[in-house]
């Protein structure tokens, strides 16, 4: 069930409508403290959806929301769950997103 929910939700994190995209990120930020490590089965699907495009967004609301989601992940999930997906993203991103992910890894 978790896969089905987040598979559908994932596309909202990439939505071309910036308002939908931002609300999805803000909603994700609220869900993380509630779900915590229960997100582990879907974390490899979620991190690219959260990071790709959103951390390099020129829209300050989307960028701030994505940064808040990454921060919430770091606060509420076991760091071992985040290490591999964060490394992969830091390796293949560019610009501000690469810098942000590298700082989170450090």
Q: What is the C-alpha separation between 15 and 3, in angstroms, rounded?
A: 19
Q: What is the reported pLDDT for 44?
A: 94
| 42 closest CA partner among 1, 71, 70, 88 | 1
74: confidence class by pLDDT, cuts 50, 70, 90: very high
Which is higher by pLDDT, 83 or 1? 83
Q: What is the pTM of this model?
A: 0.94
What whole-number distance in Å separates Cα of residue 103 and Cα of residue 3?
A: 29
* pLDDT recorded at residue 1: 86
Domain count for the chain: 1
Identify the domain containing residue 26 by its residue range. Answer: 1-104
Cα 45 from Cα 55, distance rounded (Å) = 16
Mean pLDDT of 81-88: 95
pLDDT tens digits along 15-54: 999 999 999 999 999 999 999 999 999 999 999 999 999 9
Q: Say which residues have a Cβ less than 8 Å from residue 69's Cβ, sequence separation at least 6.
A: 25, 28, 29, 32, 50
Residue 70 scores a pLDDT above 90: yes
């Amino acid at each position: 069930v978790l896969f089905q929910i987040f598979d559908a939700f994932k596309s909202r994190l990439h939505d071309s409508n910036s308002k939908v995209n931002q609300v999805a990120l803000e909603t994700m930020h609220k869900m993380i403290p509630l779900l915590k490590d229960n997100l582990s089965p879907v974390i490899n699907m979620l991190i690219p959806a959260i990071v790709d495009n959103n951390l390099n967004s020129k829209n300050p609301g989307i960028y701030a929301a994505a940064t808040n989601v990454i921060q919430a992940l770091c606060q509420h999930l076991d760091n071992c769950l985040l290490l591999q997906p964060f490394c992969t993203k830091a390796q293949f991103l560019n610009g501000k997103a690469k810098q942000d992910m590298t700082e989170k890894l450090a």
